[in-house]
Structure 1
Amino acid sequence: MKNLQRIRTRLVRIVPPIERWPTWLVSVMGLMTWLVYEHQQLMQAALLGLLVPATLAAGFTTEAMPLWAFVSVVAVFIAQMRRLLADCYRVLAARGY
């Protein structure tokens, strides 16, 4: 926890507030945030769409279990990133970008 606070403190010192960013950078960040936010849901669906038929074809073996665990972790990570990007997009929209 202490390391995360240290990283956050350093980032706050390095990155200027959004009000001082050039307009083109804010526009690009807003567009990238929106695109990634929209495509993460497709990535989750694609992971499950590929994993289910593969598991049904191979059967529930000991090799399939770690794969399901990995996909579950990736799906949770994608969901967390989606929430973070939604917050970023809301901040950009609230500030008129």
Structure 2
Amino acid sequence: MKRLSSLESLGLWTRAHRWAELRRFQRDEADGVFAGLKIRGRNHIVRLYNWSPGGACIDLPGSAKLGERVHLVCGKLRRHGRVAWLAGGRAGIEFDA
């Protein structure tokens, strides 16, 4: 019998096609909203696609790498976090607890 892998060991291509929604938080869409992102000591203006208490989806600023520390600011939303995933010109930010 074949052993199933955890999600962390699967490639990004499999995550987009999973059968069940595994997010811990409900996300809010942010159409047309821009945010400030500080990464590697530099500030960027990025498009914010959606966000939740646990993270956000943004445009990819340059050549970000997985695990890099970031600070995201958009109105009252001011959170530190890390780059959790990269795909199709976008980045997922996982906020610190």
TM bracket, shorter-chain basis? under 0.3
* Richer in strand (by share): 2
- Higher-Rg structure is 1
Instruction: Identify which of structures 1 and 2 has the higher relative contact order when contacts are C-alpha pairs closer than 8 Å and 6+ apart.
Output: 1
> Which TM-score applies when normalising by structure 2?
0.21
Higher helix share: 1
